[in-house]
Amino acid sequence: MSVNKNHQPEGTGDAIEQGARIGLFDSGLGGLSVLRQLSHRLGASAHSFVYVGDTARCPYGDRSAGEISHFVSQIVHWISNQTVDSIVIACNTSAAVAGEEVRKNAKVPVIDLIGVTADLVAAKFNRIGVIATSTTVKRKAFSKAIHERDSHKHVIEIACPDLVPIIERGLSESKEMDAALKKYADRLLKENAEAVILGCTHFPFVDAALTRLLQDRIQLIDPAVLLADSIAQSIAAANPETAIALDINKKSLAYTNGQAKISRSHIYTTGDPSRFRETAKICLGYPLDTVNGITVDELTVTTPVITLVEHAVNTTTVTPNMVPATT
């Protein structure tokens, strides 16, 4: 499958081939919702994943565009040197601010979740809600993408600056979260939204509470599910002998295979690996096998810390501040 590495369309799965090594990054642990879907959906089609959660500088949602672009440039530089074949921007704030720049300058194809989500919702719904970070909403990332496909769609974008910090504190199932979500749910109901896009990759971790508050009247859309299906379709088309049965016409596209475990992954955080692993367990419902620590300064290192040999045999790199699996 041939691709133009410097001008890859946003949100497409065509940049990822069978057996690819996929890099992902997010401002924190939210991108694990994307990694979860890709890991489960692609199965043996994707050999392994490299994930970076920039927890030390999370959240990104209220930072300046200059700061976000700088952070993204550092992370993409580092991931690009870890023998990856493609990079997924598993952070919609980063995609909204720096997606175009990253796609032009990265060494490998770069894709995000915005375009593939706009394709589906523009085709299926007329009144579309979006809940996202303040920066993503200010940039109108989703509404612009939807209106490029159909200018007649009514899009309600709601900034939710308080949700990411609560999730990162491990309080996704708490009275504090329910109170924070209620005001957004009430507005979506008042606006008569038919569907709501979970426009921050942290938000699938609170979809159960949101569904309850929406009284099952509004369909939740998890962009990670759509991206995983898009990639799976692309791989199946190129490799019909390993075609994957697809079904994206479910009542809820928001927490599909939610308990599917992340596998074949090297996970890094710029924050505290132990804390990252503890919070990830709350969000995912199970512990990650290993979390590695990497400092912000180390993001400028060009030497791969994950070798091709490790990629081939699917082992985990051991670093001094690694947090191994525990019961």
Single out the catalytic residue among 58, 91, 160, 283.
91
Adjacent-strand bridge partners of 52: 25, 268
Q: Which of 58, 160, 200, 283 is catalytic?
A: 200
User: Where do the DSSP E strands lie in the chain?
Assistant: 20-26, 46-53, 86-89, 110-111, 127-132, 154-159, 195-198, 219-221, 265-269, 292-293
Rounded CA-CA distance 229/11 in Å is 12
DSSP for 59-102 reads --TTS-HHHHHHHHHHHHHHHHTTT-SEEEE--HHHHHHHHHHH
91 is catalytic: yes
**Is 160 an annotated catalytic residue?**
no
Q: In what order do the strands lie in the sheet with 195-198?
A: 154-159, 127-132, 195-198, 219-221
Residues with a catalytic annotation lie at 91, 200
